[in-house]
Homo-oligomer: A and B are copies of this chain.
Amino acid sequence: MKMIETMLRSHPHADLQRSEAYADVLNALALCGQICTSCADACLGETEHLANLRRCIRLNLDCADVCQTTARLIVRQTETPNELIHSQLHACVLACQLCADECETHASMHDHCRVCAETCRHCQERCNFLLGEISASGVEEERADLRPTDSPPLSR
């Protein structure tokens, strides 16, 4: 069992049925945060292609920030605000998707972009899976209360 899963399971109000899914996401997020920080820096170090890597660096930096904050929210299991987790996960899926899409266009030329694209894609999938789990378990009702009154429900 992974260290972070052991940790989640030792929480006084642990959600034991979800510990493995949460641990998978947390490992993916921790790795993605570091790999994106590394890809931004490796791109910055490129001598010939730096100007073509602007968008890549930008999205790397955003993705690193979003992954680390998303991980912090998911790690916490005390008084969990499901609707906020849902919304932050949604932003994280987008951040990973945009970064993976951009890195893939440089993957044949830069190994760091190839590794980063794979890591972001894996993280996107893990986050998307958890998003589905949380939605299925009834965050939709909560969301109804928080949604501005003039906006229609997301699913019919």
Binding site for B on A (CB under 8 A): 3-4, 6-8, 10-13, 26, 30-31, 33-35, 37-42, 44-47, 50-51, 54-55, 57-59, 61-62, 64-66, 68-69, 71-73, 75-81, 83-84, 87-88, 90-91, 94-95, 97-98, 110-112, 115-116, 119, 128, 146, 148, 152, 154-156
Copies of this chain present: 4
Per CB-CB distance, the 5 closest pairs between chain A and chain B, nearest first, are A10-B111, A69-B69, A87-B91, A45-B78, A55-B79
Q: Knowing A30-B34, A54-B78, A87-B90, say if A7 contacts B115 (CB, 8 Å).
A: yes
Residue from B3, B59, B69, B110 in contact with A81 in the complex, judged by beta carbons closer than 8 Å: B59
| Given A66-B73, A79-B58, A11 and B51 contact (CB-CB distance below 8 Å) | no
Q: How far is the CA of A111 from the CA of B90 in the complex (A)?
A: 32
A38 proximity list for chain B (CB < 8 A):
4, 7-8, 11, 75-76
| A122 smallest CB distance to B (angstroms) | 10
- Contact (Cβ within 8 A) B30 A3: no
Whole-angstrom CA separation of A79 from B87 in the bound complex: 23
Q: What CA separation (Å) do A98 and B55 show in the bound complex?
A: 26
Chain B residue nearest to A6 (CB atoms) is: B115
A11-B38, A11-B112, A38-B8 known; A65-B69 Cβ under 8 A: yes
